[in-house]
Amino acid sequence: MLIDGIAGLKDQRGRIVIVGSGPVGLGLAVDLARRDIPVMLLESGESNANPVVQQLSDAELTDARRHDKMAVAVARRLGGTSNLWGARCLPFDPVDFAPRDFVDARWPIRYTDLAPYWDRAIRSTAAGANHFDTSPILSQDADDGFTADRLERWANVQAAQNVHADAIRSMPALEVRTRCTVTDLKTAGGRVERLTVAHSITGETVDIDVDTVVLAAGGIETTRLLLAAQKVNPGLFGGPDGPLGRHYMGHLIGEIADVTFSSSDIGRAFDFHVDDYGSYVRRRLVASDRTQIENRLLNCAFWPVVAPVADPRHRSAILSMVYLALSVGPLGRLIVAEAIRRRHALDKPQRIAAHVRNLIVGAPSAAAFAAQFFWRRYFRPERLPGFFVQNAANRYGLFYHSEQAPHPDSRVVLTDQVDRLGLPKLKIDLRFTDQDVDSVVCTHDLLDQWMRKVGMGVLHYRMPLEERAAAVMEQAAHGTHQVGLARMADDRTQGVVDGDLACFDLPNLFLATTAVLPTSGQANPTLTAVALALRLGDRLAQRMTSKPEVHTPMSKVASL
């Protein structure tokens, strides 16, 4: 059931209250409601985007070059940031969970603890199947320093509210409330006793009693609520000098090299395609666990991309058409996610005449490409996630998507300013370090050596050796993945929640968000966060049915 506003919102004892309706929160809510466990889901936004509500997420950016604008990083509406994302779904790798002495983080769970939940997470995101390996490009006896045989896949339905539309409409145990902004966690006796909920437009408030609360409002907004609670009770979450709000991570992304493949077949193998499990997939190049550990590398993935679309010297009618389309905001957002669009084009196109000349010369090919793209993206059951244009030279840009190492000075803090509903605003200071940059440069070099050795191709750097680190740092900017701000750990000095996502200091408060991930890996974090939420759902279901008097970690429950 979908209800707008706070009218009639009152005592929620006996229900699980989930704050936030993105893929994580909505996926958890539906999973619990399917078991006839009563769930109340509170969403700050409306069914559609409303700039008045969106402004509640405005924040101060210490360095605007490093962090996406908040309208790109956060979506206050039903479905959350799934309305903005590119819908890439892949799990974290086993190496991400392993102790690494060069990474300042320790996971309190193992990869095997999440393995049973990948299938359910894939179904919850409409992303095909739990299948992330494909047939080898190279012979079986090729050097295994890297692999080109791992897949990333995309959801066929982008927005979470559309994935779960039937459940929202018909599940008796699920009540979804829009225009309901949680502004305060009221604690007593080491528990969350009440939530203050404000109407997102009028500002009218109501306090509701609660038994169990799950914050799933995204990494930044979840952390903001916790920091506001800590401001009232400074001893919470490790105290002011504790882990809350620190270790903010996203990913390092960009291009410093091109790649020439040794054959057109190899280039073709990296194109988007629908696999046997019914969604679009694409190969990526990743260093083996051995290569990463031996060389003290952060996890990093690579894939070939088209030439920079903004530069008309590519003389491609298709790429010029793409650039001009991306430069028109509403049209560009139909093609790619907003964060991706902004990396390729400004809202006002540059060098228009040159792009128009390219388009005129190759008009037939551009028209055919456009028709096929929109057909495959909007009128097929499998949603085409992007575009890849093959060329006769087999030369492409080489895009990297690298793990960012946790660092305590990369953080968010409260400011003295408050939003329209009285919640303190954030100051965001996302920082990248020499370790992040050096790892990207070194991984490129090792990849080049490996590709030459196995006969797959060769890298061409766009700048000399002495300028590569600076080029990586110049491109270092993120803000949409929001990892590490309230990380899980073995104890409260190192993290905010335990391995079951329960807050150390408030055991009836749980976090289902990318903020709990201790490391960022090479993968987009959403699928892993959904899997963790579904694992939490099993624990909450057990609590609702057996009502144990003491908190028992899931790892111990599973061994009984």
The pLDDT value recorded for residue 76 is 96
Among candidate residues 212, 213, 183, the one with its CA nearest the CA of residue 198: 183
Please report, as a single letter, which amino acid is at residue 96. Answer: D
The pLDDT value recorded for residue 263 is 94
SS (HEC) of 538-552? HHHHHHHHHCCCCCC
The pLDDT value recorded for residue 347 is 66
**Under-50 pLDDT residues of the chain:** 548-560
pTM reported for the whole predicted model: 0.92
Q: Which residues of 423-442 are buried (b: 16+ CB within 10 A; e: fewer)?
A: bbbbbbbbbbbebbbbbbbb
The pLDDT value recorded for residue 421 is 97
CATH fold group of domain 2-87+157-249+407-431+480-559: FAD/NAD(P)-binding domain (3.50.50)
Residue 434 to residue 238: CA distance in whole angstroms:
28
Among candidate residues 84, 93, 81, the one with its CA nearest the CA of residue 151: 93
The pLDDT value recorded for residue 362 is 84
Do 72 and 480 contact (CB within 8 A), yes or no?
Answer: yes
**Helix (H) or strand (E) run with residue 96 in it:** helix 94-97
Please report, as a single letter, which amino acid is at residue 486. Answer: A
Please report, as a single letter, which amino acid is at residue 294. Answer: E
Query: Residue 514: phi, psi to the nearest 5?
Result: -65, -15
**Helix (H) or strand (E) run with residue 29 in it:** helix 23-33
The pLDDT value recorded for residue 553 is 44
Do 117 and 538 contact (CB within 8 A), yes or no?
Answer: no
pLDDT tens digits for 442-473? 999 999 999 999 999 999 999 999 999 999 99
Please report, as a single letter, which amino acid is at residue 301. Answer: A
The ranges assigned to domains in the chain are: 2-87+157-249+407-431+480-559, 310-380
